[in-house]
Amino acid sequence: MFARGHLSRRLGLDPRELTFAVLDLETTGLEPQRGARICEVGIVRMPATGLALP
């Protein structure tokens, strides 16, 4: 569904024409050594315009 890429003008990639995946992690704390865990994950596809895609 998604491909990883490197933004480079040499390769002819224009970031304004790409779609990005924005990742948000919610955790129970900041220290995994003390038992903090990921409790929620959110991912939104978004073009460079900043408007979320369905």
Domain boundary assignment for the chain: 12-47
Q: What pLDDT is attached to residue 20?
A: 84
Cα radius of gyration rounded to whole Å, the chain: 16
Q: What pLDDT is attached to residue 5?
A: 64
Q: What pLDDT is attached to residue 9?
A: 66
Q: What pLDDT is attached to residue 15?
A: 75
Q: pTM of this prediction?
A: 0.57
Smallest Cα–Cα separation from 4: which of 14, 17, 18, 16?
A: 18
The two beta strands, 38-47 and 19-27, are antiparallel
- Which pLDDT tens digit goes with each residue over 1-54? 566 766 666 777 777 788 888 899 999 999 999 999 999 999 988 888 777 777
Q: What pLDDT is attached to residue 49?
A: 78
